[in-house]
Structures are given as C-alpha cells and as structure tokens.
Amino acid sequence: MSEKVEFQELDTVSGHRIGVVTLNAPKSLNALDQEMINELHRQLLSWHNDEGIVCVFLQGTGDRAFCAGGDVRAARESALINNKASVQAFFEQEYRLDHLIHVYNKPVICWGHGFVMGGGVGLMAGADFRVVTDTTVMAMPEITVGLYPDVGGSWLLGRMPAKTGLFVALTACQLNPADAVYLGLGNRFVDHAFRHNVLASLQQADWQQDAYQVTYNVVQEYADQSAGWLPYSKIREHRDLIKKMMGKPSLPGIMAALEALETSDEWLSKARKTALNGSPLSITLTYEQLQRTRHFSLKEAFQSELTLSVNTVLRGDFCEGVRALLVDKDRQPNWQYATLADISGETVDSFFVPDWETHPLADL
C-alpha cells in the first residue's frame, strides 16, 4: 500500500465509524498519482458497502494543500513513449473515482484547504460538504500545461453563473474561498483552525439519526462561527465584465475581448495574461468541449472527457506544456499552432473521436 494516502476509521460515541482519507504526499502538494487514485477508489468502495461507516472525511496532509492536481509528469512520460494504455488507465480510473464521490451513498466532507487545483477540484466537486477555508486557493490551471479542465470540469463549469465557468477555464484564474462559494465549487466556509474540532464533533455526534442531517449539524456549527471571516470575491466583483467578454458569439471574439481588456486590477490582468499565453490548441479544445457538453449528464461528461483527455495528452500540446512549466521550467512553450486561425475544424474534430468500440466508462 502506498504511503501517499492514509485511511483511518474513527469511532463515534454511538458505535459507528467515520472514514478519514488523508492525502499524504506533501512534497508534491498531495498531487494524485495512479497508485493513489487506485487505492482511494478501492477504499471508498469498501466503505460504500460498510454499514458501520456513516460519513467520509477527505483531507490533505499539511497546511499547504488539499490536492494541487494530478501527476502530469507521469502522464507526460507515458505520452512520450506513446503508451496509450497507461495514459488511458490514469484518466479512466481518476474519472471513476471522481464519479463515485458524486454518487456516494453516505455524506462526504471534503476539507479543501490550501491549494485545490485540477484533480483536487475533481475530488472535491462530488462531496456533499465542500468546505473551503481561509487558506483556500482554487483553480482549474490545465490551460497552462496544454490540457483543458477535465475531472468533471465539463459538467461543473457549464453550470456556473454568467459565463464565469468559461472564464475560469480559459484564464486559470486563482479563486479565493468567496469565489469558490459563489461558483458552487465550495458550499461551506470554515476557518482552517476548526478542522480538528469538526472531526472531534463528528465522533461525539449521535449517528442513530439521519447521517446527512447529523453531518450538516456539525459542519454548519463551525461554518456559522466562521461566517464573518469570508473574504471578498473577485469573480463576483467582475461578474458583469466577465459575462460581457465571455458572451461573445465566437472564440476569436472572446480572445479579442480579453486582448483588448485594459485594467489596473492585478487579478484580472494576471488572468488575461495567462489566457493570451496559453496554447491556441488547448484554448480551442477547451471552448469546444464546453460547447459540446453543455447539455450532457455527469456520466456523459466524464465519457467525453476520457476521449478528449487521451487524445490531447498523446497528440496535443500537453507534453510541451508540462515540459515548459514543470520539467525544464523555462516557461517558453513551443505550441503546435501560433494562432487560433491556424487550427482547422477537421483538426479540432479529430480530438473528439473515440478510439474504442465500447467506451471504457460505459458502465458508470
């Protein structure tokens, strides 16, 4: 068993147990690798069928991060030797794990402190109680490594208000806890100092009652004590401007609006710069994916993402993006296409073509 993920069962006064998952890879900010994903899935399935487990609590070790994403370096290494089976296995099992949390049969609390990015958002999105804290920094930063927001992002982002989901996807903007609550990525704000109090209160609760009500009572008690500390939301502040830019009828129009943006706001300026420096191919695929999946169910979104993720990692700008940002760290990616106009419709369509007769996630 990997030391990068720990499982614990805490006894309660009513004779039940709380399942606690701790991501334990602090050097990588608790980023998910294949082994961690597989172990998480196996344990959550076991607790899913265990009547003695009444609630699951997901957390990350240390104070810096819940989970900063997936192990993109390993995915790049598989792609460089064209190991499609390895690439597919990683995304397939990750999406199975994320989907399981969405449909879990007992309350799940995700303690989203520190960095919650990419794959971390995927874990958190399906939890019933998505706790953000005073330390939370969230983002979907896939555009910076030549990918696109996956892990259910196709489903999540399209449901955000006023085209903000598209803005989050194209700009990789950093979200504070107030942003996360406004967008629905979080649904409770609790000061990080209360984490151990929440766990202790869960142990002292009477779980003979409805488990969701009991969990609500505990989490809400500490959310009420933390309410006055929620910071100001940048997304909400700039909502009308974001809606105007993202509401253009075409991707070139949207990118032109971002390019023409003049602002003294540091947060907006950073978001604009990230979008304009991103891979034109990834920008196009991100926009196209959100267009194609806007009426999809959660299951259909994950199925669509598996096709697009495998194709993007093997044939897109992913390997170059990871090289420039995380391997050589020169931040000088050599993207396949210089502009959006260089990318043909046939090229875009090819990334959405599945390479299997029976979809690997058909049984979700």
Q: In the prediction, which pLDDT does 126 show?
A: 98
Judged against a pLDDT cut of 70, whether residue 172 lies above it is answered with: yes
Q: How far is CA 60 from the centre of its chain?
A: 15
Domain boundaries, the chain: 5-350
d(CA 133, CA 232): 13
Report which residue type is found at 121: V
Q: Across the chain, what does the average pLDDT equal?
A: 97
Mean pLDDT of the region 168-177: 98
Q: In the prediction, which pLDDT does 229 show?
A: 84
Mean pLDDT of the region 51-70: 97
Judged against a pLDDT cut of 90, whether residue 228 lies above it is answered with: no
The CATH class that applies to domain 5-350 reads alpha beta
pLDDT above 90 as % of the chain: 97
pLDDT band at 138 (very low <50, low <70, confident <90, very high): very high
Residue keyed to tokens 């309660």: 12
Q: In the prediction, which pLDDT does 77 show?
A: 96
Q: What is the DSSP secondary structure assignment for residue 293, as one 8-state letter?
A: T
Edge-to-edge, what's the strand order for the sheet holding 5-11? 5-11, 17-23, 53-60, 108-112, 129-132, 188-189
d(CA 177, CA 181): 6
Contact 331, 274 (CB under 8 A): no
Task: Indicate whether this model's pTM tops 0.85.
Answer: yes
Name the nearest CA neighbour of 348 among 301, 289, 299, 271: 289
Q: In the prediction, which pLDDT does 244 show?
A: 97
Judged against a pLDDT cut of 90, whether residue 275 lies above it is answered with: yes
Q: In the prediction, which pLDDT does 1 show?
A: 63
Mean pLDDT of the region 353-362: 94
Edge-to-edge, what's the strand order for the sheet holding 137-139? 65-67, 115-117, 137-139
pLDDT (tens digit per residue) in 318-340: 999 999 999 999 999 999 999 99
d(CA 117, CA 60): 13
